[in-house]
Amino acid sequence: MKKAFIFDLDGVIVDTAKFHYLAWRNLAKGINFDFTEEQNEQFKGVSRVRSLELLLDMANYTATQEEKDIWLVQKNEEYLSYIKKMDQSEILPDVPRVLKHLLSKKQGVALGSASKNARPILERVALLDKFQAIVDGNDVTIAKPNPEVFIKGAQALQTQNVDCIVFEDSIAGVQAANTAGMISIGIGNAEVLHEADHVFANFTQISNEFLDHLIER
């Protein structure tokens, strides 16, 4: 039996969600807006451009296109300055064990991320070679919660949507997986991710037996 396991990147494989938050928070400070971690939940899985729109809405700030263009570059530059310092220690607990188990069982493994920085991040943490397909923010035209990113991942692995299992830390990503008819596994807070088929605090809670059960179902 072959399934396709599609992993989100930020907040699932690596702990980069905190870097995105820091960069947005600093930008928000510049327009006197106090951007909270709770508000940041809505930004997870959401594209860079859409995130800025959300932030400006929250701050009730009407920006010119020129301001928006400058801020998008500024946010990404700050984010990249954090990424540059990353190493394998930023890989979230037990992600390597789960990848190893799935690959040993000859399952499909793909990345499905909204980030345009996905490949350089995977390179930095030396995980690039674990993925048979990578679909990222450079490949999609419609962002999560639209399922395009995961549907493209399934196609790349020549797998039907019903045979795909998605790991996601964002509400938008869980909704995208559900809309595609895939099994959604939330990684994080069960209250926030209540729409997911299963929720685990992190990968240490996901046993090899549970993975085998997903493979065989």
Residues with active-site annotation: 8, 10
User: In this structure, what token pair is assigned to residue 50?
Assistant: 């859409």
161 binds ligand BG6 (CB under 6 A): no
Nearest distance in Å: CB 164, ligand BG6: 18
198 binds ligand BG6 (CB under 6 A): no
Among the listed residues 11, 6, 14, the one whose alpha carbon sits nearest the alpha carbon of residue 41: 11
**29 SS3 class:** helix
Closest CB to ligand BG6 among residues 63, 101: 63
Among 27, 109, 114, 156, which residue interacts with ligand BG6 (rule: CB under 6 A)? 114
Nearest distance in Å: CB 85, ligand BG6: 16
Closest CB to ligand BG6 among residues 20, 124: 20
46 binds ligand BG6 (CB under 6 A): yes
Choose the one of Mg ion, ligand BG6, none that binds residue 184, judging by a C-beta under 5 to 8 angstroms depending on kind: none
- Length of the chain (residues): 217
Nearest distance in Å: CB 200, ligand BG6: 18
CA-to-CA separations, 204 to 61, 64, 97, 217, in angstroms, rounded? 41, 45, 9, 22
Among 10, 90, 148, 163, which residue interacts with Mg ion (rule: CB under 5 A)? 10
CA-to-CA separations, 217 to 109, 164, 184, 212, in angstroms, rounded? 17, 11, 14, 9
Closest CB to ligand BG6 among residues 52, 165: 52
Binding mask 10-29 vs ligand BG6 (x if CB under 6 A, - otherwise)?
Answer: x---------x---------
Decide: residue 183, CB within 10 A, 0-12 exposed, 13-18 middle, 19+ buried: buried
CB under 6 A: which stretch of 31-39, 94-102, 114-122, 180-188 binds ligand BG6?
114-122
**Number of neighbouring beta carbons within 10 Å of residue 77:** 10
Nearest distance in Å: CB 165, Mg ion: 16
* Encoded amino acid at 134, one letter: I
CB under 6 A: which stretch of 28-36, 46-54, 88-96, 148-156 binds ligand BG6?
46-54
- Residues in touch with ligand BG6 (CB under 6 A): 9-10, 20, 43-48, 51, 76, 113-117, 137, 170
